[in-house]
Amino acid sequence: MTASHPSKLREPLSFVAGCGLPLALEVMGERWSFMILRASFNGVRHFEEFLDQLGIARNILSNRLARLVESGILVREHCADDRRRIEYCLTPKGYDLLPAMLALRQWGEKWALGVPSNPVLCDARDGQPISAITIRAHDDRVLGPRELTWRDRADLVLGRPVTIPAETVTLLE
């Protein structure tokens, strides 16, 4: 039935199978999560500071921070000097979201924001702006959607360069 799509090389049925996207979205898909993350990357650490920067409601912020901590993206720790204060800091798992956040940000900049964004993320070594986030082959060639294909993991453990079978579907058909 519904035999309109010729390929078997499509990502399987739903998200039960091995795909990281639903798992990522479970945490980061919620309404303010990415904005909180952005603030964290900008050095924001404290509750009231998030509140000011984001204009989010207190209860929502409280809830989101708890979830981000629970999922290991932030750590919550009491300040040594002032024991009222609490610091929310990025973990390695949190820092590892930077490429995703930047890719999203760059997309927004390119397609929705009229003006180029003002503070520019730069290479600390030479002060040059970072380049656009791209998809790359194992040898660092930049790949466009036409040059991509899904393959079953079982077919590639052999590691040899393969002639892609004709029925393999690229992302652009």
Q: Enumerate binding residues for DNA (CB under 7 A).
A: 2, 30-32, 46-49, 55-60, 62-63, 65, 76, 81-87
| Closest distance to DNA from the beta carbon of 74 (Å) | 10
Site string (119-138) toward a copy of itself, x via CB under 8 A: xxxxxxxxxxxxx-xxxxxx
Residue 83 burial (CB count, 10 A): 8
> Among 64, 63, 5, 59, which residue's Cα sits nearest to residue 35?
64
137 binds, among DNA, a copy of itself, none (CB under 5 to 8 A by kind): a copy of itself
Question: Could you tell me if residue 90 is left (phi over 0), alpha (psi between -120 and 50 degrees) or otherwise beta?
Answer: beta
Name residues contacting a copy of itself, limited to 42-61 (CB under 8 A). 42-43, 45-46, 48-49, 53-55
Q: Which is nearer to a copy of itself, 10 or 66 (CB)?
A: 10
**Is there a contact between 91 and 73 (Cβ–Cβ < 8 Å)?**
yes
**Is there a contact between 143 and 135 (Cβ–Cβ < 8 Å)?**
yes
